[in-house]
Structure 1
């Protein structure tokens, strides 16, 4: 018999888990961590003395899908909080779920005896939900197949607010595969702080992901002006553009072995270059969750518009805020639907 997901709201599995109260709290925490980091770099004393801890917490990473920024980001955040991180699943030698290995139930019950919080990244969309039901520990969904990536959405909102100001006053564009997990979580999370205008740039002949369409309908109901375009040039009058490949299917379900994934070239209407930005005289903030492919040309890197590497840097104080909040036992107060697995 599976143990219940207890206490209620312990897990960050979906953008649905986050309420406006949660968002305000997590942004305030992230801003405080960022200020402390900047004061330390400037040689200034901390705003408040560090809290005394009897022992560091242990954050266990169960990643059965390759990761660079997410894995390192949570490790760095844990270290800066004075905690430790461990790899609880080795993609090269992992035995979990194999014919000669242990069951998921036994693996999770073993790992939680060593840990205080679990971070799960998987090519299987139900994996974080299964882990959350099995464990009494708080669980973070760090990306599950083509479903969601809620911590990335929080990072993106923090980056936008930090670099462009109040989101409610902004026009925001997204150029991406509408099935991309970061994109789904991002647009769902925008319901908490609806922008003045939201524009989706996508392929003209590909159906929009139902979850994305529903999230856009929610935004429209909250007063956001919704637009749909099929050329990234038509987004360069916005305050913010978040851009990724238009077909992420190869990457969302990439093999776990050593075989490289073929990188297709993005079609011209969905690529951003310095020339396009300069020709439009645009000051649009360009974001990208990374890794980037041919949709974002390196010629953009030297422009003041380029915000994607700053976005990576800002991910650490946000992940610190997420870990701090969840390790303190503060529940997520969003929709209860976030605590059940997605339909098969």
Structure 2
């Protein structure tokens, strides 16, 4: 039996899939869900503000790579919408990929029979794209090797918007490995809401990831002042700093349950501490997609600048908005 012709825009695999109208729609939906979630926290009576949901959908998570926030975040988002999530990859129980198991093709056809949407997270860059070709269901790329992480990019943009306002009036810095998938998607996504200034803080003498360089050139063409520095203190005059380790290769390629990851120490020019922030009298909002390592010292946690745990809270309405949109059949038009 031949596979159907899948509709254009059914999947969210890259930041390039998202148009300006799409991003605006996601942020508007997220704001509505954020208000509902906060009302629900404040009053038991407010449970009635939520609209009556249709029959619950089934959201399948196919994660062959470690995850805390992304996995829990999508599970919580599905639950908040009145839907359910099922785990369709378990290294100890799933047959997929084992010598005595089944092919990815058969596994995905089986998952289709039980679910309405599939979220894929993998150390293999091609897996979300392969699943998208195999399945008529909408597919979300929740991080694939060192390729992309488009939903994290929307979370980061939403966090900046909620905590600092209009991105077009802001200076935004990014300190990280330019091959990090969250960074690739984030810089690409900024084309939809270009900041006044964008600064990349990275190791000297190492080539910038071509995808990030191209995205920076695109920002420049849109009127953003773009620059590169090699010490994180040079970003402390910015409105926002998103920071992670400068070498994320071992983390992006670690598969679930098998590859241990040692916490290496970040080099001093790329670490942020409360002392540095206070010495520079900086009001820079500090974000981190988490997990953090030695690039972000725990001394920062008590400062008003620390926005990374609020960033986690703001991820729920964004994931709710993305699931709501895709489960309703609304295509991405980027």
**Deviations 1:285-332 (CA, angstroms, capped at 9, x unpaired):** 000000000000000000000000000010011000000000000000
Q: Deviations over 1:98-123 (max 9, x none)?
A: 32111111100000110000000001
After superposition, the C-alpha distances for 1:210-241 in whole angstroms (9 at most, x for unaligned) are 00000000000000000100000000000000
- 2:256 is aligned to 256
Contact 2:122 2:255 in 1 (8 A): no
TM-score w.r.t. the length of structure 2 is 0.97
Q: Deviations over 1:122-147 (max 9, x none)?
A: 01101000000111110000000000
In the TM superposition, residue 96 of structure 1 has moved relative to its aligned partner by 1.1
- 1:56 is matched with 56
- CA change 1:111–1:312 in 2 (3 A) is same
3-state DSSP of counterpart to 2:118: strand
Distance 2:259 2:53 in 1: 46
**1:45: which partner in 2?**
46
In structure 1, runs of 5+ residues without a counterpart are 335-344
Alignment match, 1:143: 143
Taking the aligned partners of 1:4 and 1:97, their CA distance within structure 2 comes to: 25
Query: Would you say the 8 A contact 2:64–2:255 is kept in 1?
Result: no
2: CA distance, partners of 1:189 / 1:78: 24
Cα distance in 1 between the residues matched to 2:138 and 2:49: 27
The structure 1 segments of at least 4 consecutive aligned residues displaced by more than 6 Å after TM superposition are: none
Correspondence for 1:339: none
- In the alignment, the residues of structure 2 paired with residue 52 and residue 75 of structure 1 have an alpha-carbon distance, to the nearest angstrom, of 17
Query: Which secondary structure does the structure 2 equivalent of 1:45 belong to?
Result: helix
Judged with a 3 Å threshold, the aligned counterparts in structure 2 of structure 1 residues 195 and 73 are, in CA distance, closer, same or farther, namely same
In structure 1, the partner of 2:128 is 128
How far 1:92 moved relative to its partner? 2.8
Structure 1 partner of 2:279: 279
Determine the C-alpha separation between the residues in 1 that align with 2:48 and 2:204.
Answer: 51
RMSD: 1.4
The 5-angstrom pairing of residues 59-138 of structure 1 reads 59-138=59-138
Distance (whole Å) between structure 1 residues aligned to residue 215 and residue 259 of structure 2 = 35
Deviations 1:15-71 (A, max 9, x none): 000000000000000000000111122216369541242x21000000011100000
Instruction: Answer whether contact 1:3 1:133 (CA < 8 A) is retained.
Output: no
Cα separation, 2, equivalents of 1:278 and 1:32: 36
Task: Report the Cα distance in structure 2 between the residues aligned to 1:300 and 1:173, rounded to whole angstroms.
Answer: 17
Q: Which residue number in structure 1 is paired with residue 163 of structure 2?
A: 163
Residues 118 and 137 of structure 2 are in contact (CA less than 8 Å); yes or no, is this contact kept in structure 1? yes
